Amino acid sequence: MAPGWYSTGAILPLARMRSPLSVCATLLAASTFVACASSLDKARVARNANDDVRAEQYLRKSMASDPEDRAAAQRELASLKFAQAQAKAKQDPAAAEKLVRESLTLAPDDEKAVDLLGRVIHAQGRLDEAIQVLGEGDGKACDMCKRYLSVLLLERAGKREAAKDFEGARADYSRATELIPDAATALAVARTSEQLGDLEGMTRAIEKAVPLIRPEDTAAQTEFLGFRERTVLAAAARGDVATCDRWLNYFPPGAGGDGWYVLQLRVAQELYRQKKVDVAITRARHMLGSTHADTLPANRKTEFQRFLADIYRLQGVGYLREGKLAEADDNFRLAMEYAPTDDKIKLLRALAIGGNHETEKAIQVVKALPKETKGHAEVMAILESMQVADRLAEGDVEGAKAALARAQAASAETPEVHVAMAEMLVITPAAGVNKGIVRQLKKSGIVKYPNDEVNRYGEALSELAWAREQARGLGEGYLFRGPGIDARMANLDRQLRAFYPFPVEFNADSTAILKIRFKSGAAGEVGVKTDSGEQTIRVPAGSEGAEVTVRDPGLTYFRINGKVSSFVTEPYTRVTIDL
């Protein structure tokens, strides 16, 4: 027998002296073959020698025949299979899958094996299955798998988003961020929610993302800023101030500073555009208050000040047109608080002064301002046109004429100057009208002149028409309009319409253009006679009328079926006459 090996007979005398257990201990201490070693021990020896085949055989034998070692043998066999799977994972994921599945049948709760199974399945291109294994398994949560599961969910979410499956992508992004909270993933949830039109879902995702955005994460900061700008401006366009403020109160790193103030200004501007004037003013004034005194950039401060100055200035102009002079002056004063060097506002205050019947004082204010100030000539013309009305009210016709001349010299095309011209024309007799003509007009005239005074009423209406058209062309935002000018025009127009019923438009030539039509809409002929001669006008049925130009305006006769009527035509007029 070879040295170190002992027969049973050789140890019988020793057995008589010691117990069998002592014999085994002695033999092990001597590093001899242990005939009495368990299958588990032999498996361990084999595994230490890298003999995995023999180790597995002994482990399975132990599991089958050694009740006391069965649990340990099963754990170690699971560990052996896991190690073998790890070794093959990169080169042969299919073989590794088979081995790790064997490991899991032996140790179902081994999270390392579940994690490895997910990885080798994914390596074979079975993404959905890998996610199911890592995320669901046998129904138990796998804490160790969270990070890799999150990676796989993000991979699938990206594919779904690219395919425009925003609902599916959002579900994966949401699950990933629950597993591993991350700013980019939370922002991806917001992005897909935005694509789905889910504003509240997007906002909740942003609220999760905000505390996760780190100072060095400029990509997340930039993406957040894009979300905020789009959402705030869209909310402002809807007039949804609550949503604007909700988003403007999110302050991750990089979210304050100049960009935040720009958004605040744009919100205020949009609210003003929607005629939510008080809300816009309150927001802008708050930005200029003590809360932001140390953080508001100088250029943005100037923009907020200009915004408020413009609002108060335009409000003042509106009150001025309505003749509400105290309110107008209050607004101009507030405008000057925010734009103290703006001479245009001083011009507007001069108009308010003039509206209080202090036109001389107002004119002096304007004269003290630089002539190159925008609106200087127009305001001077407006104040002089107001002098026209004042002088006429006092019966000072010559003074009124002088004021009108000064107004025309300052800015002849200003609407208020044409209104003043209309007021002068109302008291000016029509050219060439004598007593005989007055008698003829009383007999057959189609206009019943008050007190038989045949003045230049048609020309006055033409001037009013021109003034209205010019004012429309200047637009609602035009600053320099006379105090109460709209009411002044309306009152004069109403006085004239009481006896002069025909619509009058401005005619740039010194002729009179007549558009003749029949009230019945029928066809017919009209004889038109002036000092220059007579002509026949044919009016088609249902037409807008037929036009005739009177080169030398004055007394004009209309003959219809033998019936004659008379009318004084005036230069620079275009009159629609219904017969």
Q: What is the pLDDT of residue 520?
A: 79
Q: How many CA atoms lie within 13 A of 375 on its CB side?
A: 20
Q: What is the pLDDT of residue 140?
A: 58
User: Confidence band (pLDDT; 50, 70, 90) for 34?
Assistant: very low
User: What is the signed CA dihedral for 250, 252, 253, 256, rounded to 10 degrees?
Assistant: 0
220 in Cβ contact with 228 (< 8 Å): no
Average of per-residue pLDDT across 131-149? 80
Q: Where are the beta strands (DSSP E) in 37-92?
A: none
Dig out the tokens for 410 from the structure: 């300052």
- The single residue listed with the structure tokens 């993406």 is 223
What is 507-579's CATH topology? Immunoglobulin-like (2.60.40)
pLDDT in tens, 332-345: 999 999 999 999 99
CATH number of 310-505: 1.25.40
Average of per-residue pLDDT across 141-157? 91
Q: What is the pLDDT of residue 17?
A: 36
Average of per-residue pLDDT across 372-380? 96
Average of per-residue pLDDT across 192-197? 96
Residue 133 corresponds to which amino acid? Answer: V
The 3-state DSSP class for residue 199 equals helix
Q: Is the pLDDT of residue 317 over 70?
A: yes
Q: Would you list the DSSP string of 287-298?
A: HTSGGGTTTS-H
- The H-or-E segment that residue 557 falls in is strand 555-560
Dig out the tokens for 510 from the structure: 């010194």
User: Confidence band (pLDDT; 50, 70, 90) for 25?
Assistant: very low
Q: How many CA atoms lie within 13 A of 385 on its CB side?
A: 32
User: Confidence band (pLDDT; 50, 70, 90) for 141?
Assistant: low
Q: How many CA atoms lie within 13 A of 170 on its CB side?
A: 18
Query: 122-153 burial, b if ≥16 CB within 10 A, otherwise e?
Result: bbeeeeeebbebbbebeeeebeebbebbbbbb
Q: Which of 131, 130, 207, 140 is nearest to 176 (CA)?
A: 131
CATH number of 37-141: 1.25.40
pLDDT in tens, 240-277: 999 999 999 999 999 999 999 999 999 999 999 999 99
pLDDT in tens, 478-520: 889 999 889 999 999 999 999 999 999 999 999 999 999 988 7
pLDDT in tens, 514-568: 999 988 788 889 999 998 899 999 998 878 889 999 999 999 999 998 899 999 9
Q: Is the pLDDT of residue 35 over 90?
A: no
Q: Is the pLDDT of residue 22 over 60?
A: no
User: Confidence band (pLDDT; 50, 70, 90) for 29?
Assistant: very low
The 3-state DSSP class for residue 535 equals strand
Three state DSSP letters for 346-365: HHHHHHHHHHCCCHHHHHHH
Across the chain, mean pLDDT equals 90
- Length of the chain in terms of residues written: 579
- The H-or-E segment that residue 514 falls in is strand 512-517
